[in-house]
Amino acid sequence: MSNNVADPRRPDRIQRYVAPAAVLNSNGERKDVPGEDLTPDYMNVLGMIFSMCALMLRIKWCSWIAVYCSCISYANTKYNDDTKQIMSSFMLSISAVVMSYLQNPSPMPLPFSS
């Protein structure tokens, strides 16, 4: 191994990886780069929808699905994402669980069962 003649690597052919820069639109706002993971955003929206359904329609299983979606959204966020929106969605889902059990403290029946 002391002889570099048998080394098949070519240091002049190395190309370093550079992450693609964010695409900016005409307003200077950041657009989504192709290939960016949008799972946290989708789960955030789903959590808010289920939270509102649980609060308005008093459906307990919707509130638990909202908590689940909010946890997935929080777990998949990047460090530089907007944490205010994610935490507000999480707090909305927790409040949906609390309010649904304050209105009707009986245990939750299985959904779609008679």
CA distance 102 to 113: 22
Three-state secondary structure of 51-95: HHHHHHHCCHHHHHHHHHHHHHHHHCCCCCCCHHHHHHHHHHHHH
Query: 0.85 exceeded by the pTM?
Result: no
pLDDT of 18 reads 65
Angle at 33 between CA 28 and CA 38, to 5 degrees: 110
Cα torsion at 17, 23, 24, 26 (round to 10°)?
A: 140
pLDDT of 62 reads 93
Helix (H) or strand (E) holding 50: helix 39-57
**Tens place of pLDDT for every residue, the chain, 114 residues?**
555 677 788 888 888 776 656 555 666 666 655 667 788 889 999 999 999 999 999 889 999 999 999 999 988 887 776 778 888 998 999 999 999 999 888 888 776 776
